[in-house]
């Protein structure tokens, strides 16, 4: 019985011990904003639902203001990560949806991401321009996947 418990404990530890690698293979363009590929060994995977510019009471923050909505959405991602025991260092993938996206918005998107992610290794990332989100008041939605090491 003790041997089985020790084996189970070792298996559980293996699930927690993480190795996350950020890879930019030769032949693919490098970007300071994202990694082309991220791999993670088995562990605790955290999927953060799309976060929008809603405060704790569910009220829209920054109606019509992309910068304000980006800040609230990223803050909500941060709170979700903290609530799961993760940090921005653990994020392996982000997807950002922007209503009526235009390339001129990239500076604001980059600035907000850097403010929250800081010097974390850039995760794999996708930016999607959309016609609308679930509410007409929302301009941006950010979802994240993290692997806790």
- Locate 13 and state its tokens: 């530890």
4 domain residue, yes or no:
no
CA distance 19 to 42: 8
Q: CB neighbours of 66 closer than 8 A, spacing ≥ 6? A: 98, 105, 108, 139, 140
Looking at the domain assignment, is residue 82 inside a domain?
A: yes
Specify the number of domains making up the chain: 1
**Cα dihedral angle (97, 119, 33, 17), rounded to 10 degrees?**
-80
Among 87, 75, 86, 67, CA closest to 51: 75
Q: What is the CATH number of the domain that holds 81?
A: 3.30.1330.40
pLDDT in tens, 1-58: 444 444 444 444 444 445 778 887 788 778 887 787 777 777 788 889 999 999 999 9
Evaluate whether residue 81 is within a structural domain.
Answer: yes
Beta bridge partner(s), residue 40: 20
Burial (CB < 10 A; 0-12, 13-18, 19+), residue 120, is middle
Q: Give the residue, 144 or 44, on which the prediction is more confident.
A: 144
Q: DSSP assignment, residue 123?
A: P
* Residue at 110 is within a domain: yes
43 within a domain of the structure (yes/no): yes
Residue 41, domain member (yes or no): yes
In percent, the amount of the chain with pLDDT more than 70 equals: 88
Q: Looking at the domain assignment, is residue 6 inside a domain?
A: no
What range defines the domain where residue 39 resides? 18-148
> What pTM was computed for the model?
0.78
């Amino acid at each position: 019985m003790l041997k089985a418990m020790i084996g189970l404990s070792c298996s559980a530890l293996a699930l927690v011990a993480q190795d996350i690698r950020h890879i930019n293979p030769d032949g693919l363009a490098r970007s300071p904003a994202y990694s082309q590929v991220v791999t993670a060994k088995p562990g605790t995977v955290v999927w953060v639902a799309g976060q929008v510019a809603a405060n704790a009471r569910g009220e829209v923050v920054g109606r019509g203001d992309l910068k304000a909505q980006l800040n609230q959405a990223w803050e909500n991602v941060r709170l979700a990560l903290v609530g799961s025991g993760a940090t921005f260092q653990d994020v392996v993938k982000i997807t950002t949806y922007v209503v009526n996206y235009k390339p001129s918005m990239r500076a604001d998107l980059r600035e907000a991401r850097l403010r929250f992610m800081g010097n974390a290794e850039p995760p794999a990332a996708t930016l999607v321009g959309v016609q609308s989100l679930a509410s007409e008041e929302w301009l941006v939605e950010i979802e994240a996947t993290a692997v806790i090491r």
